[in-house]
């Protein structure tokens, strides 16, 4: 049974890889703008050059993340239909689409916040760079070095809805996996008229029985983004 749900981990891992590439692109864009300024002396263009590259990286990330989010949503819809034995109607699919939009909005807002943080750091670097007289100053300035390192240290920080900071790759991975789990479980509940549901682990073992009216109360505890269980309606 575990193989049936392997898409959750596989697509979440791919999303984390995309976020890692995005973080590296932020560093590369920062260093590219700095090196161009260092060699050509065009300090005034540093901020604009970096900002343009940051935005390109963000657009590429957004497109790739959206593709994965759509995939995991469609696969979860298909699995819910298989478990319940019914085809999801338009109203049910609308719920899945709302979950998809919410997740994409959260991930997009997070990425844009990180880009804005890098733009602010580049302004600091640009101000410091104006006092650099030669290559030795670029290499020896401790304040410039700290400013450059701040871009690297902040590139991979995300913030959840409660304000807790976490590594961006884990943040993205949990949001994408959580999308898949939420769509799967919510649709099973919505598509079935059963009052009881058997709780199965992904390996097929029975973990208990949940009443319909217990679902909302126990949802966050039992069906969080890292959950490895699902529901199936109890047939009469």
CB–CB of 212/194 below 8 Å? Answer: yes
Alpha-carbon gap, residue 187 to 184, rounded angstroms? 6
Going by pLDDT thresholds of 50, 70 and 90, the confidence category of residue 73 is very high
pLDDT per residue over 137-174, tens digit each?
A: 555 555 555 555 655 555 555 655 544 455 788 999 99
Count how many residues are written for the chain. Answer: 236
pLDDT at 134: 56
C-alpha separations of 188 from 17, 91, 160, 217 in Å = 30, 13, 27, 16
In tens, the pLDDT along 60-70 reads 999 999 999 99
pLDDT score recorded for residue 118: 84
CA distance 198 to 209: 4
pLDDT of 39 reads 65
Q: What is the pLDDT of residue 117?
A: 85
Question: What are the b/e assignments for 116-140, b being 16+ CB within 10 Å?
Answer: ebbeebbebbbebbeebeeeeebee
Residue 1: the pLDDT is: 46
CA–CA distance from 209 to each of 143, 151, 212, 221 (Å)?
60, 49, 10, 15
Residues whose CB is less than 8 angstroms from the CB of residue 159 and which lie 6 or more positions away in sequence, other chains included: 110, 113, 165, 166
In terms of DSSP bridges, do strands 165-167 and 157-159 run parallel, antiparallel, or are they unpaired? antiparallel
- Residue 23, CA distances (Å) to 4, 68, 128, 179, 187 in order: 31, 18, 24, 22, 34
pTM exceeding 0.95: no
Q: Distance (Å, rounded) from C-alpha 199 to C-alpha 222? A: 9
Question: Which pLDDT does position 150 carry in this prediction?
Answer: 58
Q: Is the pLDDT of residue 49 over 60?
A: yes
Query: Would you give the end-to-end CA distance of the chain in angstroms?
Result: 23
Q: Which of 44-53, 142-151, 193-202, 213-222 has the lowest average pLDDT?
A: 142-151
At 105-141, the pLDDT tens digits run 999 999 998 898 888 888 877 776 666 655 555 555 5
């Amino acid at each position: 049974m575990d193989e049936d749900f392997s898409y959750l981990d596989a697509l979440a891992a791919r999303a984390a890889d995309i976020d890692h590439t995005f973080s590296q692109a932020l560093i590369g864009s920062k260093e590219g703008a700095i090196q161009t300024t260092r060699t050509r002396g065009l300090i005034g263009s540093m901020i604009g050059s970096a900002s343009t590259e940051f935005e390109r990286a963000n657009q590429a990330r957004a497109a790739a993340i959206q593709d994965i989010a759509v995939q995991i949503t469609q696969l979860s819809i298909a699995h819910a239909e298989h478990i319940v034995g019914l085809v999801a109607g338009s109203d049910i699919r609308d719920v899945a689409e709302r979950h998809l939009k919410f997740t994409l909005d959260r991930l997009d807002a997070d990425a844009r916040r990180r880009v804005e943080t890098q733009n602010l750091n580049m302004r600091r670097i640009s101000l410091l760079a104006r006092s650099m007289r030669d290559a030795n100053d670029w290499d020896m300035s401790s304040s410039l070095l700290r400013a450059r390192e701040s871009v690297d240290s902040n590139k991979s920080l995300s913030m959840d809805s409660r304000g807790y900071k976490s590594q961006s790759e884990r943040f993205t991975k949990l949001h994408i996996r959580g999308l898949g789990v939420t769509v799967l479980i919510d649709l099973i509940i919505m598509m079935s008229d059963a009052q009881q549901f058997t709780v199965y682990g992904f390996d097929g073992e029975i973990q208990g029985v949940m009443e319909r009216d217990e679902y909302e109360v126990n949802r966050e505890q039992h069906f969080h983004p890292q959950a490895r269980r699902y529901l199936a309606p109890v047939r009469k």
